[in-house]
Structure 1
Amino acid sequence: MIESIPGSSQKPAMLRELLEEIEILRIARQQEVRNHPHPFLKRFTQQELTDEACPTYKNLLVGRSQRIPSRQTLMQIADYLECSMVQRNNLLLAARYLPESLELTGSELQLALKLGKNLMQTLPYPAILVTHTLHIEAINELFQRLFAPLPLATIPQEQRHMLSLFFRHDLPFRERSTFNKQATKAWQAGVSRGIQLFKESNRFYQFEPWYQTLVEQFCAVADFRQYWEQEVVPATLTQQQELPKLLLGRNAITGDVQQIQLRQVRISVCSRMYPCIIALLPLDEPARMVVTSLGSTEESNMSAAGLS
């Protein structure tokens, strides 16, 4: 423990508390890999932590440095130690940094979801309501009709995630989006962008059991894993974000099937990034005609359909 390190008694109380938190986590990880080697051969030694995450760590331990590591360095230490969100925030608090904001839960989440569903009633565009895991909480009538038939109500709650549903061959999303080479390229760019968005939004949760279980669930669907394991550079992400979505849409009045262009936009419903509405805006005249036709029928009352 920290008390056995020379000079620890002379350390400022805040630094001593922080180092104790780090060492408790490090030793726990070291014990875990003693009988079960880490996939990346981590040993979780003090020297390895120094080399991989915090160059001044050993100096801090022996008292040659008494400067609290920066917030960025603490996040690197937390990544190296594969911290849960609670453990990560405990490190930040020990160093007197503000904790990372957790996602909405309980009554706050339910209120935000209610606001999101109400807002979708006013949108003249196909839209869905998602949480930070990209779980689909609700869809509006225009979205339902654009992708009809869309049997989302028959899919178990735990499987209603955009990332897996858009890969399934038994649902209309992929078939309607990959009808030629250009459309396939736009679909591939869109799903790659969605995967990166999921990773970025949940970066601090990546060592939580629910995250790892969810990723395994995603990877069991079609060819999802090859997209998940792709390395995407920032410049490519920017290009992907700008690509319009190409889709085969049916005009609800004439019955004609047309190629349409749509732009995906995010609409916040609270002070957090999630939950949010993802709406599909028409970019060309065929798309405007299709979306208008979807809203012109008696059945299109723009009610948000909760997927219970």
Structure 2
Amino acid sequence: MTTSNQDRSAAELKRVLDTIERLRIQRQQNPGKIVSRIQNMKRFTQQELNDEACGTYKNLLMGRSRRLPDRQTLMDIANYLECTGEERNDLLLSAGYVPIPLPLSDRQLDRVLDQTRSMMHQLPYPGMIVTDVLDIVGYNEAFCNMFGLSDFSFASNPPNMIDLHFNKDMPIRAASSFDEKSRARWESHGIVGIQTFKSHHPALFVDPKYARFHGLMEKYAELREFWNREAWTVEQDLKTAKYFLARQPGSAERRPIRYNQLHLAVTDQAYPRIEFFVPADESARQVFAAWGCAIDCSFKSGPYA
């Protein structure tokens, strides 16, 4: 390594250590600002950080090691320090790593949502618009008809996808878990969605913006029960149809159908996006057609989170 490269590497490592130390000292001096449930168990010392997150940290501080921590190690350090999304990106950028995507600003989100609503209303399928925290901020008439939600008013209190999955007062849960097989599919889909959400939101127990999600955890026992469970992989969830007891227009009779859940993103970010639903068997195609929905689709399916 040339002298200039060595100097750059040393300067980069110094920036990383300075950023870590700044965050660590902030935690020590202002523990009350940390919203994590385990904050009182941590002392946020250099030795503790070394023991809990980065086994070479003391060596880095003392100059015995000059190897820049890899991206995952920096994320482990960020988890230990209970960093917000912005703080995680400060840490990643100090080391020259690509930052994690952050939510759109309010103005950007409003503009993208206008585009998303226009796209959704052109889809010949039941659909809803979902944000990065799984809030449902729009839906079409076919969505309400297919899932028996026409009598629910979402305008005053927009639901979350977690509500749709777990709320016993909404018809989707009962109609999606009507026998042993459908119940197992409902459960596996919920677990995959929870694990996906956790992986996409590493600051879940740190950033105050997740306060509503914490309330949902208290509201739904299954959400807490499934929190640390593993079921299928995301790929398995994508490939396997879901079950639903659907009714035809003007009839109280219900028939079991299978459908796939798909998504369309409007920008290069994953959210906001349209979640929509297509039939996966002949019974479903008949029900969808009766509600005026298209019966053919070549899209690939996607998870709810």
Considering Cα pairs closer than 8 Å and 6+ residues apart, tell me whether 1 or 2 has the greater RCO: 1
Separation in 1 of the partners of 2:112 and 2:199?
Answer: 21
CA distance in 2, matches of 1:261, 1:152: 24
Task: Note the 1:9-48 alignment, pairs <5 A.
Answer: 12-32=10-30, 38=38, 41-48=41-48
> What per-residue deviation string (whole Å, max 9, x for no partner) do you get for residues 173-205 of structure 1?
112112111111111112112212221222245
Provide structure 2 residue ranges, at least 5 long, that are not aligned to the other structure. 1-8, 294-305
Q: How many angstroms does 1:156 deviate by?
A: 4.0
What runs of 5+ residues in structure 1 fail to find an aligned partner?
1-10, 297-308
TM-score (norm 2): 0.83
Q: How far is 1:151 from its partner?
A: 4.2
Tell me if the contact between 1:248 and 1:257 (Cα under 8 Å) persists in the aligned partners: yes
Alignment of 1:1-308 (within 5 A): 12-32=10-30, 38=38, 41-154=41-154, 156-157=156-157, 160-211=159-210, 213-232=211-230, 236-252=233-249, 256-295=253-292
Check conservation: 1:163, 1:195, Cα contact below 8 A.
no
Number of residue-to-residue matches in the alignment: 282
CA distance in 2 between partners of 1:149 and 1:236 (Å): 30
Shift of 1:16: 2.5
Classify 1:221/1:38 alpha carbon distance in 2 versus 1 (closer, same or farther; 3 Å).
closer
Greater shift, 213-222 or 37-46, is seen at 37-46
RMSD: 2.5
CA distance in 1, matches of 2:194, 2:58: 37
Checking the alignment, whether the CA contact within 8 Å between 1:163 and 1:194 is kept in structure 2 is: no
TM-score under structure 1 length normalisation: 0.82
Q: Residue by residue, what CA displacement relative to the aligned partner does 1:1-33 show, whole Å, maximum 9, x if unpaired?
A: xxxxxxxxxx94433232122112112223455
CA deviations over 1:75-130 (Å, ceiling 9, x no partner): 22111111011111111222233322212222321222122211112222211110
